């Protein structure tokens, strides 16, 4: 599989990353844990080297499951996790916390749950608006100097926030949502990352399921599925009216994909990976069938004509891509 460098970090990973939010077992509806765990091993066999998790996924479940699933293959992969929240004894999320001591202690927990001595990359999951950015960056530098992490970065940070962080230490990556239905990052974040040699990790590559091709007008999201709120990082992607229009877009996108001998999910992956600033596209995987479909998309380089054809579909259906909408922070 194609390998890409995260910014100028010297850390190379597969262009396609294995996202494990779905493995949290608590926020994406039902998932067969064994199938998802088996897919981890299969992913490595198919050339996927980057595995992304976070303590908040569950919380803790995703890290624990991933650590067990990796087994003795830990040495073969790039392992990424994220910290920056606080929890009570029952695992309830109490909000963001990126204070120095908290980042240090939460990182230790990540290592323990994942069964590893170090992380290849540790990210601050969301900006903590009550803590100066100097604190988490100083903590990340400490972890790096102690050999607990190889590289560090952030997630969901704006260019101004990244610029401030860069004053305290150079980041390897910023991980932010980016897919056909959400192009907010094109206005500022992607250009900033490219100009400043910071890797861009795109999450939500399949639009949180919208671009999987599996949804129909009858699709609903049950209790415990975060999409049931109708909102996706402050965009109304799953509200009834928007959802209906988006499904019409997807049906037309399927035709374009089929004309190229691919699925709409594969086209969505190729679309995201085709942006010159994107280092890695993260995709959640529930089983080996989905894995094989995703992996087959990596070598597809969309032509400019195909990208324009995709944009035309959005225009025809009157569906916005939110390129001028403010980033969720």
pLDDT digits (tens, 9 = 90+) for 120-175: 999 999 999 999 999 999 999 999 999 999 999 999 999 999 999 999 999 999 99
State phi, psi for 203 to the nearest 5 degrees: -100, 165
Catalytic residue numbers? Answer: 57
Nearest to 183 by CA among 275, 306, 304, 298: 275
**Which structure tokens are listed for 32?**
């067969």
Domain spans of the chain, in order of start: 3-317
pLDDT of residue 29: 74
Return the number of other C-beta atoms located less than 10 Å from residue 2's C-beta. Answer: 11
Q: How far is CA 235 from CA 229, 246, 259, 269, in A?
A: 11, 13, 30, 20
Q: What is the pLDDT of residues 187-209, one digit of tens each?
A: 999 999 999 999 999 999 999 99
* 267 CB-side CA count, 13 A: 26
Q: Residue 269 gets which letter from DSSP?
A: H
Identify the architecture of domain 3-317 in CATH. Alpha-Beta Barrel (3.20)
Dump the DSSP string for 233-259.
Answer: TTB-TTSHHHHHHHHHHHHHHHHHHHH
Q: What is the pLDDT of residues 77-107, one digit of tens each?
A: 999 999 999 999 999 999 999 999 999 999 9
3-state secondary structure (DSSP) of residue 302: coil
Q: State the pLDDT confidence band at 224, using cuts at 50, 70 and 90.
A: confident
Cis preceding-peptide flag for 266 (omega within 30 of 0): no
**Which structure tokens are listed for 314?**
């959005």
Rounded to whole angstroms, how far apart are CA atoms 204 and 281? 8
pLDDT of residue 23: 85
Q: In whole numbers, what is the pLDDT of the chain averaged over residues?
A: 96
């Amino acid at each position: 599989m194609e390998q890409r460098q995260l910014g100028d970090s010297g850390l190379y990973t597969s262009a396609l990353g294995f996202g494990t939010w779905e493995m949290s077992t608590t926020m994406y509806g039902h998932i067969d844990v064994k199938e998802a765990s088996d897919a981890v091993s299969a992913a490595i066999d198919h050339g996927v080297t980057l595995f992304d998790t976070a303590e908040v996924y569950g919380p803790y479940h995703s890290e624990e499951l991933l650590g067990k699933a990796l087994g003795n293959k830990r040495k073969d992969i790039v392992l990424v996790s994220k910290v920056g929240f606080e929890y009570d004894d029952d695992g309830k999320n109490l909000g963001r916390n990126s204070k120095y001591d908290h980042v240090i202690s939460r990182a230790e927990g990540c290592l323990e749950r994942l069964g590893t001595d170090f992380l290849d990359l540790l990210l601050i999951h969301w900006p903590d608006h009550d803590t100066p950015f100097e604190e988490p960056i100083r903590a990340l530098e400490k972890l790096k100097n102690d050999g607990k992490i190889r590289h560090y970065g952030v997630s969901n940070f704006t260019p101004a926030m990244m610029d401030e962080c860069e004053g305290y230490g150079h980041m390897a990556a910023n991980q932010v949502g980016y897919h056909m239905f959400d192009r907010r990052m094109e206005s500022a974040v992607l250009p900033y990352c490219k100009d400043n040699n910071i890797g861009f990790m795109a999450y939500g590559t399949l639009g949180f399921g919208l671009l999987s091709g599996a949804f129909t007008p009858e699709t609903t999201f049950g209790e415990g599925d975060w999409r049931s709120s109708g909102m996706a990082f402050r965009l109304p992607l799953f509200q009834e009216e928007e959802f209906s229009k988006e499904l019409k877009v997807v049906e037309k996108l399927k035709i374009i994909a089929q004309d190229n001998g691919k699925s709409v999910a594969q086209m969505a992956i190729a679309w995201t990976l085709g942006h010159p600033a994107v280092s890695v596209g993260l995709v959640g995987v529930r089983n080996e069938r989905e894995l094989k479909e995703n992996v087959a998309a990596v070598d597809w380089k969309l032509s400019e004509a195909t990208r324009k054809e995709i944009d035309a579909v959005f225009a025809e259906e009157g569906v916005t891509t939110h390129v001028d909408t403010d980033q969720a922070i």
